[in-house]
Amino acid sequence: MLTSNYVELKSSGVYEIMKEEMFNKLAEAVASGNKEKAAELSKQALDEGIDPQEALVNGLARGMNIMSDKYENGEAFVPHLLISSGAMYGGMEILIPHLKKEGSGRPATGVIGTIEGDVHDIGKNLVKTMLSASGFNMIDLGNDVPLEDFVNAAKENKADLISMSALMTTTMVGMEKVIENLQEEGIRDALIVMVGGAPVSEEFAEKIGADSTHPDSMTASDWATNAVKKLAPAEERWSDEKISVGKVKYRDILAKKKATSEKTKDIGLETAKEIMDEFEKVGVKSKEEMTHIDRVVSSLGDKKVDRLPVYPLACGVLRKFVPTTYRDYTTDPEAFAQSAYLGVKYMDLDMFVGLVDLSITSSDLGCDISIPDEDTPASVGHLDDYEKIEIPEVKEGTRIYELIQASKLAKEKLNKGLNAPFVAFHEGPLLTLTQLMGADRVLMDMKTNPDVVLDAVDKITDFVCDISEKFFEEDACDGLCIDNLWSNNVIMSEDDYWTFEGKFVKDRHVPLFEKYNQPYMIHSCADHVHYDTQIKKFGTGLFSYAYYPKLRHKGSKNYADLIPKYGDMCCMMGEVDPIKFIDHSSEGVQAIENDTEELLKGVLPVLKENGLQSKYVMSSGCEIPPGGPLNTVKAMVDVVKKIGPDLQKETMG
């Protein structure tokens, strides 16, 4: 029922002023994260005759844009955006039914989800929020989405857009398969495809046939809003005739792809066989002055070396030398240890990092886990109550104990057979909690229910410390690397990180490493790490980092930034783009060789300028996808071995 005041004022200037006041109130409700107020004001706007489309665009969406601007300027963080988006959706639930009733026109429809095998959904949720604020009807498939679900949802809803995200390099290849499925169904040209996530580059997006990728949710939303306006009407794009034409159009393209893939059915296995055959013929091409373990230990201590150590983060992909499935790699200690041993042997790697997946600790705390035959295990079900968190004993029957035993076996093989070090790997407290409860929930609860989150982190820190101590007690590693993923200034402020994980690590986890005379080691593929906390406060001895050139303006750092500031206390390890290792063609191999040479020639002078000689490990910025080839990994190793010794002498004397 319209109020009489608004009916009478409809034609006057006063009405416009009052309407603007309503928009401001709606925007403020969203910006402050007040869901109840946003819903109440949306209902009031309808009662007072305000067009629901105007209330959405000029009120709710404007509030979300205010928060997005603050986020871009570093004045707000992901938890603030999640809370504001909840308020926006509270208002949208009231307004959207009336948009449909009043025939405002078909809103653009988008299908969004995180690709199969990947449970990281914060970026996806932010993109969804901004697209919703721009008027899209968003169908959210969630995370760890089976590839066929993207296509099915697009067909069912005659979508204008598919948006796929991935944070893990191990899962990105699924994006190309979705696009191929769209082509096969004849509907690729019926919609636009957008891909995103920190490791996704413009080159990767173009290579797989996506229409675009963007560094943040706001630019993604702006691009998509303009792109769908250029599409033909949905009835035309989704007609049987257009679909039939699409099937014919892509038939030859897909046939050629299929023929190529049949020639190389398993590129990891095929390149592994080529490398093994070459090794059996010629063995290691040149005898080096130092053993792997001596070179790595010397670099950590900035001692004299014959060359810098090299280890692209090839973990699960090395199983192809056995060969074995990913399921066996992650569950069978012998398969894991043999993968590490044969990988180091045939590739002449300077070390091996025992990364299996990021759901081991959370699975032992009660999270449901999916373990596919040939993909990375992932969390598929979260706990519904923090009070249900119970800390188990690290003993036989738990996944983490199995990993410790597998690591112990791998260490023995590498040390005795190849004089190479084994670095174990497990998740830190906050990463464990977000895998267990869901990242969105934990990040929102940091603001709305902080004491509950702090209690949970406190309990899980005990578990993480128990795990690390078990690794040391069992002599199951030469070093231990911790994934402290959430130290990211795009996700939360440095003060919040310190409160919700940093102080727990500094006060309880780091002293455990000191007790066993072990350097604290961290891996993080985040784009804007809190390096002062993670290196200076923790006293970290080795930091494995990723560098994203497209996110440099947001704070992503490279060796030239990190060595001068932290090199005196920490050995940095990075930073070649792991996605480039997927291309096994001669051009792809050459690209890795070029990037490796450029990195090596850049790092050495910076080390010398800062009074250092060897405190750097040549590596990739994140894990090499386990379904990728091995010839590109070997290319990086071979370049460092070939030119590293002479460059070391020329630069350091």
Residue 255 exposed, middle or buried by CB count within 10 Å (0-12, 13-18, 19+): exposed
pLDDT at 20 > cutoff 80: yes
Interval 567-578: pLDDT, tens? 999 999 999 999
**144: its two tokens:** 């760890």
Q: What pLDDT was estimated at residue 105?
A: 57
Residue 354 contacts residue 426 (beta carbons within 8 Å): no
- What is the pLDDT confidence band of residue 284, given thresholds at 50, 70 and 90? low
Are the beta carbons of 627 and 270 closer than 8 angstroms?
Answer: no
pLDDT digits (tens, 9 = 90+) for 106-123: 689 999 999 887 777 778
Name the residue among 497, 428, 389 with its Cα closest to residue 79: 497
491 falls in which pLDDT band (50, 70, 90)?
A: confident
Q: Is the pLDDT of residue 296 over 90?
A: yes
Length of the chain: 653
> How far is Cα 462 from Cα 82, in angstroms, rounded to an integer?
29
Assess contact for 114 and 379: CB atoms under 8 A: no
Query: Which whole-number Å values give the CA distances from 89 to 51, 61, 366, in the listed order?
Result: 17, 10, 31
Locate 550 and state its tokens: 């497209």
Looking at 104, 121, 148, the residue that finishes a domain is: 104
Strand (E) or helix (H) holding 339: helix 333-347
Q: Which residue has the higher pLDDT, 611 or 528?
A: 611
pLDDT of residue 2: 46
Query: In the predicted model, what is the mean pLDDT of the chain?
Result: 89
Q: What is the pLDDT of residue 482?
A: 97
441 contacts: CB under 8 Å, gap ≥ 6: 382
Count of alpha carbons within 13 Å of 223, Cβ hemisphere only? Answer: 18
Classify residue 187 by its DSSP letter: -
Residue 477 Ramachandran class (φ > 0 left, ψ -120 to 50 alpha, else beta):
beta
Domain end (from 104, 128, 151): 104
pLDDT in tens, 368-378: 888 888 878 87
pLDDT tens digits, one per residue of 154-165: 999 999 999 999
415: pLDDT strictly greater than 60:
yes
Per-residue model confidence (pLDDT) at position 98: 81
The predicted pLDDT at position 104 comes to 45
Mean pLDDT of all residues in 158-183: 88
d(CA 81, CA 125): 10
Task: Give residue 375's pLDDT.
Answer: 78
Is residue 479 over pLDDT 70? yes
Span of 246-255, 451-460, 570-579 with lowest mean pLDDT:
246-255
**3-class SS of residue 144:** coil
Considering the domain boundaries, does residue 144 fall inside one? no
Instruction: Give the pair of three-digit tokens for residue 513.
Output: 């490493």
pLDDT of 580-600, one tens digit each?
Answer: 998 899 999 999 999 999 999
Task: Inform me whether the pLDDT recorded for 78 exceeds 90.
Answer: no
> 544 or 241: whose pLDDT is higher?
544
| Mean pLDDT within 13-31 | 84
- Buried b / exposed e over 273-283, threshold 16 CB at 10 Å, is eebbeeeeeee
Structural domain includes residue 30: yes
Residue range 454-466: mean pLDDT, rounded:
97
High-pLDDT (> 70) share of the chain, %: 94
The alpha carbon of residue 260 and the mean position of all alpha carbons in its chain are separated, in whole angstroms, by 29
Q: Indicate if the pLDDT at residue 305 is higher than 80.
A: yes
DSSP 532: I
pLDDT reading at 637 higher than 80 = yes
Q: Is residue 620 part of a domain?
A: yes
Q: Are 302 and 608 in contact (CB under 8 A)?
A: no
641 in any annotated domain? yes
> Which domain, by its residues, includes 414?
267-425+527-652
Query: Which residues, 6+ apart, have CB-to-CB distance to 318 below 8 Å?
Result: 339, 340, 342, 343, 347, 352, 630
What is the average per-residue pLDDT within 224-237? 91
Token pair 């096994």 is found at: 584
pLDDT, residue 51, reads 87
Three-class secondary structure of residue 575 per DSSP: strand
pLDDT tens profile 196-219: 887 888 888 988 999 999 988 888
At residue 452, does pLDDT exceed 70? yes
What CATH number is attached to the domain comprising 50? 1.10.1240.10
Looking at residue 376, its pLDDT comes to 81
At residue 413, the pLDDT reads 97
Would you say 83 and 34 are in contact if contact means Cβ atoms under 8 Å apart? Answer: no
Beta strand 378-381 pairing with 422-427: unpaired
The pair of three-digit structure tokens given for residue 431, joined into one six-digit string: 């990463």
Give the pLDDT score at 14: 64
Banded model confidence at residue 242, pLDDT cuts 50, 70, 90: confident
Q: Which of 59-68, 309-318, 350-359 has the lowest mean pLDDT?
A: 59-68
| Start-to-end Cα distance in the chain | 85
Amino acid at 226: N
Q: Is residue 285 part of a domain?
A: yes
- 320, part of any domain: yes
Q: Is residue 250 part of a domain?
A: no
- Report residue 101's pLDDT band, with 50, 70 and 90 as the boundaries: very low
pLDDT above 80 for 12: no
Task: Confirm whether 280 is domain-assigned.
Answer: yes
CA pair distance 646, 644, nearest whole angstrom: 6
Residue 39 or residue 169, greater confidence: 39
Is 543's pLDDT higher than 60? Answer: yes
Identify the bridge partners of residue 606 per DSSP, sorted by sequence position: none
Helix/strand/coil percentages in the chain, nearest 5:
60, 10, 30
Q: Assess whether pLDDT exceeds 80 at residue 432.
A: yes
Domain count, the chain: 2
Spatial CA neighbour of 66 closest among 130, 122, 135: 130
CA 455 to chain centre: 26
What's the CATH code of the domain at 406? 3.20.20.210
Query: Which of 104, 137, 153 finishes a domain?
Result: 104
Strand 352-353 to strand 616-620: parallel, antiparallel, or no bridges (unpaired)?
unpaired
* Whole-angstrom distance, CA of residue 156 vs CA of residue 152: 6
Q: How far is CA 384 from the centre of its chain?
A: 24
